[in-house]
Amino acid sequence: MRLCLSQIGGMTLLMIAALLVGAASAAAEDTLTYRNDRFGTEIRFPTGLFDTLTSPPTDGDGQTFLGKDNAELLVYGSRGQDMESLARVAREQLDEITLDRVTRNWFAISGFDSRGNVFYQRTESGADGVLHSAILRYPPSQKSRIDPQVGPIMNSLSGP
């Protein structure tokens, strides 16, 4: 089963939350596709990992999804920043860097923050100067559950 969640002007947070609750009760292999209408940023993730939706920012840049033990997935689009600046911000959040790969069209940085949480960010350049980003942050207690999904989740990040 594959569900799609998109920020639509008239859709209320209650309706979105109902979609997530219904998705969370589905089988573990079920996925949810989130799409940001402002920038077209899209990502797909297993519904069992992140089952709580936070209030979206008023500017409509993206969305945060929460999971067990404060695991979180942030997905957003942005304009007016360059790859190296965003990569620098990601590095500054980490006490230990385990992956630091920056190319012309994307970057991936991961490591551990000051609280020992796993951190992984992927950002891809899109059309018209838009950057599509996803950040996964989760405690070590969730490593066995989330680590196998990091690649598929981050590789699903896309946008125009």
Where exactly are the structural domains of the chain?
Answer: 2-155
Question: pLDDT tens digits for 65-87?
Answer: 999 999 999 999 999 888 899 99
Span 2-155 CATH architecture? 3-Layer(aba) Sandwich (3.40)
The string of pLDDT tens digits covering residues 85-114 is 999 999 999 999 999 999 999 999 999 999
Query: What per-residue confidence (pLDDT) applies to 14?
Result: 33
Phi, psi of 33 (to 5 degrees): -105, 120
User: For 128-149, what is the mean pLDDT?
Assistant: 97
User: Please, which pLDDT band fits residue 57 given cuts at 50, 70 and 90?
Assistant: confident
> Would the pLDDT of 25 be above 80?
no
Burial of 104 (0-12, 13-18, 19+ CB in 10 A): exposed
Which pLDDT score is estimated for 59?
86
